[in-house]
Structure 1
């Protein structure tokens, strides 16, 4: 099914969403257990609505960007609330995540520079050893 047809649908089975987003049905049940999704039930069958699909998109995006499930839950709790509250919370979360990633980047750059220096010194010693024998 193409994207436009999928987005115009109102109801989704768990297997439909799992297939569309390349995740397991177990992951969807996990998000449900954590209160991030709340599909309706028809007997034992989970029925996801368009709203659940939109929330799943936000959950997966949040995970991809490195936010914790707690952060994602806090954000989703404001999903139906005042838009300015949601944007304010998002801005704070993004600022914290950027600061964390920038710190990690600086640490990685330092580590890479140190490893390059060690590699250079090791190669120089190997070269001297091979010339001396």
Structure 2
């Protein structure tokens, strides 16, 4: 296991930009070691970056990710962190399921509108365009 990783190595590993890593640093989510102008990331920073990116993929905001990460370091600790993650995942799932229902409803309305147009075109003797 390596002691340090460069920003370039992490950008390649996680397929993200240096700007993204700097943003997470500016937000206080990761804290690389500085040697002059060079940022050196520890294994713990790499792990945090992985968790941040997972949180983003799940749709969590930076504030939510910060809250979850902060719980790990102080009370209620990991147990509270896990409970919060479960709650937030459940909330996110409900939001996405509602969006899915909304999309399904909209697709149904589009189908009806298209069918009505095709029916009227047939009544008028107009051929549908390709």
Q: TM-score, normalised by structure 1?
A: 0.87
Cα separation, 2, equivalents of 1:95 and 1:77: 20
- What does residue 26 of structure 2 align with? 33
Q: Write the deviation string for residues 61-92 of structure 1: whole angstroms up to 9, x where unpaired.
A: 11111111111111111233422111111111
- What does residue 3 of structure 1 align with? none
What SS does the aligned partner of 2:34 have? strand
Alignment of 1:8-47 (within 5 A): 8-47=1-40
Moved over 6 A (4+): none
What SS does the aligned partner of 1:47 have? strand
- What does residue 109 of structure 2 align with? 114
Cα separation, 1, equivalents of 2:125 and 2:50: 58
Give the number of aligned pairs. Answer: 125
What SS does the aligned partner of 2:72 have? coil
Cα separation, 1, equivalents of 2:6 and 2:70: 23
Measured after TM superposition, the shift of residue 25 of structure 1 is 0.3
Q: Which of 43, 61, 78 is residue 71 of structure 2 equivalent to?
A: 78
Cα separation, 1, equivalents of 2:72 and 2:5: 20
User: CA 1:33–1:117 in structure 2 vs 1: closer, same or farther (change >3 Å)?
Assistant: same
Q: Unmatched 5+ residue regions in structure 1?
A: 1-7
- What does residue 68 of structure 1 align with? 61
Cα separation, 1, equivalents of 2:24 and 2:80: 23
Q: Unmatched 5+ residue regions in structure 2?
A: none
